[in-house]
């Protein structure tokens, strides 16, 4: 097995992902005190869309998706936005915080390593597989 050296940027990105995932569930719990799970999901998606639109416009990468991208856009729209967000919000609204953290944990373990361009280095470091 080679000694894999993980770049500092990868550690910073991993730390940021852990921090953001850790802060997301309490923030959702606070938001659900003011809105129903469905309307909170609608507001969350609307804010994400508006932010993405502005950022992409500012960096000059705003473009209409190609025809090949539409199946992915529609499937993510259905499964992530129409199914997962409202159901996750419903779970957060009705569960104890300790249960919420346990349910969020698998999401964090899957998403955190993939957030970095140096994910291969992290995987090699953690698993010994380059």
pLDDT digits (tens, 9 = 90+) for 14-50: 888 888 877 887 888 888 889 988 898 889 889 989 9
pTM over 0.85, yes/no: no
Nearest to 90 by CA among 98, 100, 80: 100
Quote the pLDDT of residue 67. 93
**pLDDT tens, position by position, 61-108:** 999 999 999 999 899 888 888 888 888 888 778 877 666 655 555 555
What span, in angstroms and rounded, lies between the C-alpha atoms of 125 and 59? 34
Task: Assign 3-state DSSP to the chain and report helix, strand, coil percentages, each to 5.
Answer: 80, 0, 20
Structure tokens at 29: 């719990």
- Residues 11, 116: contact at Cβ < 8 Å? no
């Amino acid at each position: 097995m080679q000694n894999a050296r993980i770049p500092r940027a990868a550690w910073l990105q991993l730390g940021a992902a852990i921090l953001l995932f850790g802060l997301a569930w309490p923030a959702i719990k606070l938001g659900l005190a003011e809105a129903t799970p469905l309307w909170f999901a609608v507001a969350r998606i609307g804010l994400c869309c508006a932010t993405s639109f502005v950022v992409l416009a500012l960096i000059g990468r705003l473009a209409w998706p190609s025809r090949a991208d539409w199946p992915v856009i529609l499937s993510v729209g259905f499964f992530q936005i129409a199914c997962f967000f409202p159901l996750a919000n419903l779970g957060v609204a009705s569960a104890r915080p300790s249960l919420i953290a346990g349910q969020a944990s698998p999401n964090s373990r899957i998403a955190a390593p993939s957030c970095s361009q140096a994910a291969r280095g992290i995987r090699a470091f953690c698993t010994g597989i380059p």
